[in-house]
Homo-oligomer: A and B are copies of this chain.
Amino acid sequence: MESAIPKLLQCPRARARRVPDDYTPPYPAWCARHRQSVKQVVMAYFGVQSKGPDPQGFLSWIADEFRREGGPGHWDRARYSDEAGYDTVISIAYWDDPRTFDAWMDRPGFREWWESDARPSESLGYFREIIRPRIERFETLFSTPDKPEGVAVLAGAMSGELQEHAYWGGARDRIPLSQTDALEPAGRPMRRLADGRRIVVQPHGNLCLIRSGQDWTETTGDERRMYLSDMEPVLREGMNYLRDQGLPIGCYANRYMRIVDEQGRETEKSFGMSYFRGLSELERWAESHPTHVAIFGTFMRIVQQLNFQLKLRLYHEVTVAAADEQSFEYINCHDQTGMLRAAT
């Protein structure tokens, strides 16, 4: 068993973990291990929203862009209908070298498209939400070691079995910076800077982003039924709560998304992506909201019923981003899109 915090990033703790040194989790879990040379990653969410018009032009274009020199080491795409009824497709791309990402973004064709004020179609909205955490500011968790998702695909390697999981507060204990830092929100509340139909959101420090996913492709029989009829409806209820009523408890935005292939066909993978004011707000929701507590309880029951032999794959990535690691930009988007809902 090993710590989720890589040896290179371990330091004398000013803040204790929640579990004693002899803690043994009741079931295994793993995390991504990046190469030592990786100091910072980029998680880029490129979204298109529409009520009616076909976003395929944008989707094909951004996919082509991803394939160019300096493109992401991994990307995928997901879809959902947002709180205002807009169909939203997000192409999510990961880099493990910010300079490569910056160079890729800065190519004239890409930059000009993005900066243009003559939009190809005024009926589509576009946004980009870019989080580029240094390696000590995020953590990943997987219920199986053989199928990375999200930023972990870049890592190329998984850890051995982790110690810091299966208890509330595990995510914090897995983030290297939590050894010395409370990870509390810092700086003034988020503000909008508008230029016509383009709005930039000025972030605050230690915003928290979670992408928390499930893959039920390989489930069969009882397990599949348990997921689809016991877990998914409760998960959906929790996701809807965060989307519609999350703001007072510090959830700036929540998207419960289905992963689609390049042809737009739904896969049997979904995830919630949520921005929280800080890690504490995410922790409080996760550990006290009835829907999430129910999800966790159901999961704990199912893993024990199935003797820890799950075909359902679960994973997440949790980031606490410094202010200079965040960039949010919305073009032609409705007023409640993403971070716009929370920024004043």
Measured CB to CB, the residues of A under 8 A from B are 15-16, 18-20, 23, 26, 166-169, 182, 184, 278, 280, 283-284, 287-290, 293-294, 296-298, 300-301, 304
Q: Which residues of the other chain, B, contact A16 by a CB distance below 8 angstroms? A: 15-16, 182
Closest 5 CB pairs of A and B: A293-B297, A290-B301, A168-B168, A290-B300, A294-B297
Q: Which residues of the other chain, B, contact A301 by a CB distance below 8 angstroms? A: 290
Residue picked from A26, A294, A304, most chain B C-beta under 10 Å = A294
User: Are the C-beta atoms of A182 and B18 separated by less than 8 Å?
Assistant: no
Q: Which residues of the other chain, B, contact A289 by a CB distance below 8 angstroms? A: 300
User: Are the C-beta atoms of A20 and B280 separated by less than 8 Å?
Assistant: yes
Closest to A27 in B: B288
User: Are the C-beta atoms of A293 and B288 separated by less than 8 Å?
Assistant: no
A26 is contacted by which of B168, B288, B294, B298 (Cβ under 8 Å)?
B288
Q: Which residues of the other chain, B, contact A167 by a CB distance below 8 angstroms? A: 168, 283-284, 287-288
Cross-chain pairs A/B with CB under 8 angstroms, 18 sampled? A15-B15, A16-B16, A16-B182, A18-B18, A23-B280, A23-B284, A166-B288, A167-B287, A167-B288, A168-B168, A168-B169, A287-B287, A288-B300, A290-B300, A293-B296, A293-B297, A293-B300, A294-B294
CA distance A300 to B294 in the complex (A): 10
Q: Which residues of the other chain, B, contact A294 by a CB distance below 8 angstroms? A: 294, 297
User: Are the C-beta atoms of A18 and B169 separated by less than 8 Å?
Assistant: yes
Q: Nearest-CB distance from A34 to chain B (Å)?
A: 28
CA distance A290 to B299 in the complex (A): 8
